Structure 1
């Protein structure tokens, strides 16, 4: 039986709380687009990359320098969990499900309720590609689309 495809949607996050659990390279890659969308970003992690620290110092996001606690998703519209701790990721995912918050998981795409598409902007047009959760394939298709659009 084929997998049920994801419903591709454009989230309007301006002024809405988005919680990111984890502050490493994977989380860092997602922040630009979330900030561009105007999300009110809360990043929760005991340690962070230099870029995330700089974004927090400049007031572009809030960094809570600690581990995840149940209740951290209160008031969130969207969550992204990107830690190397499977148990933590599972707890975040469970809270998100209870609160009916879509949650991206970097460790287990099948346990996630949302996927981040491979995306780009060209000439004011946003494109997003989902390839059934296969991020490498999504990136390759996105890059080919960009090559075609730039002709």
Structure 2
């Protein structure tokens, strides 16, 4: 198998657990997709910076509570400095591409919410069950990953969503 080509089965992603506690995470965008991602980032103790001209009320509330640092403006390349992990989740393909390119230049993993293969990382479907976090990552079929996660969670005695 050559680098970059998908494996014969399963996901092309190499699964790894990122320890982001106390580490800087940059999130570009502040819409519904970001709302869904922020909970887990905050649960694991990441220091989250959000860059977006506008945000959902829930994201604005997290900023008001001091749980995230929201910069109310457009993304600039320097925002990537110091980030260990990046999420590009705007409604602009051009901005997401610029975020991913800047992250790549810095050797920083980046999830592109609009075009997953164009990023360098993917976010798995996850569920906490007692003292275990279960994750499923497929070959870009997120609905299937969520269904499988539900089956696994139920088998382990965890709540289904």
TM-score band w.r.t. shorter chain: over 0.9
Deviates more, 1:130-139 or 1:113-122: 130-139
Number of aligned residues:
151
TM-score, normalised to structure 2, is 0.91
Separation in 1, partners of 2:82, 2:126: 26
CA contact (8 A) 1:20 1:43 kept: yes
CA offsets, 1:14-46, max 9 Å, x none?
110000000000011000100011101000000
Separation in structure 1 between the aligned mates of residue 128 and residue 6 of structure 2, nearest angstrom: 28
2:46 to 23, 29, 39: 39
Cα deviation code 1:95-120 (max 9, x no counterpart): 00000000001100110100000000
SS state at 1:113 partner: coil
What is the alpha-carbon distance in structure 1 between the residues aligned to residue 93 and residue 144 of structure 2? 24
In the alignment, is residue 133 of structure 1 matched against residue 140 of structure 2? yes
Deviations 1:53-91 (A, max 9, x none): 010001000000011011111000000011110000000
**Is the deviation greater in 4-13 or in 114-123?**
4-13
Which residues in structure 2 correspond to 1:1-151 (within 5 Å)? 3-4=6-7, 5-150=12-157
Distance 2:130 2:94 in 1: 42
Query: Which secondary structure does the structure 2 equivalent of 1:71 belong to?
Result: helix
TM-score after normalising by structure 1: 0.96
